[in-house]
Copies of this chain bind each other. A is one copy, B any other.
Amino acid sequence: MAAHIVTSFDEDLGQINQLIHDMGDLAQLMVTDATRALFDNDAALAQRVVSEDAIMDARQRELDERAITIIALRQPMAQDLRIVVGAIRMAAELERIGDLAKNIAKRVNAVSEGATPKSLSHSIDVMAKLVMNQISEAVSAYEARDEKRLETLRLDDQEIDVQYTSIFRELLTYMMEDPRNITACTHLLFCAKNLERIGDHVTNIAENAYYISTGRQLPLNRPKSDETTVQDPA
């Protein structure tokens, strides 16, 4: 009987982990699609991101309900409980990544009205690729319960922040050069900011996964993000 309960709990956890895995894949896909829609001015692809976000929301609700049912019926303790509570948090982070990707997709129309300079699309593309790698690495390091990789992830977020700061400066110069660029550049600025925020959510996922594996929180002070508020750009 005890063995039966244990097995069922493992099965429950397996389903939760599968949902996290799927949500991670979906988050990456949404970032890829949203960025492509932005540069190819592809309204249909942008629309697909919006419907992917509905799937993401549904997955999160499903995970939440499963997790709460597990807590209620199986009353897990110690690490098992951490995994279940951690999964709820992780799903919330992934859902927000989906929201941010959707927000990028919704700007496709507004951005298309201006001409995006090549060097700028390149910079944003580099940033998007960094972000996608981070999402995939976060989910995979969580699945491997690899504490070292989780700590590294948090540090790698700085690379995204540096890239964001440089895009911010670049966008300001385009706006100053020609006021007709202002509307499109403002929307691109929010797109870049969304990518930077996705990086922050990945950091949260890493911190949370670290807590699940070790029962300890990573220290509060993490390297901070978004230099544009501190060093005022030209």
Contact = CB atoms under 8 A, between A and B. Distances in A.
A188 to B, nearest CB: 12
A72 B68 contact: no
Interface residues of A, number: 41
Given A82-B68, A85-B68, A233 B92 contact: no
Interface string A65-93: 00010011001011001100100110010
Number of copies of chain A assembled together: 2
B230 A106 contact: yes
Contacts of A220: 54, 57
A120 B78 CA distance: 52
A29 interface: no
A140 interface: no
Nearest to A96: B96
The 8 tightest CB contacts between A and B, nearest first, are: A106-B229, A176-B179, A75-B75, A110-B232, A175-B182, A107-B229, A72-B81, A176-B182
Interface of A: 54, 57, 61, 68, 71-72, 75, 77-78, 81-82, 85, 88-89, 92, 103, 106-107, 109-110, 113, 172, 175-176, 179, 182-183, 186-187, 189-190, 193, 217, 220, 226, 228-230, 232-234
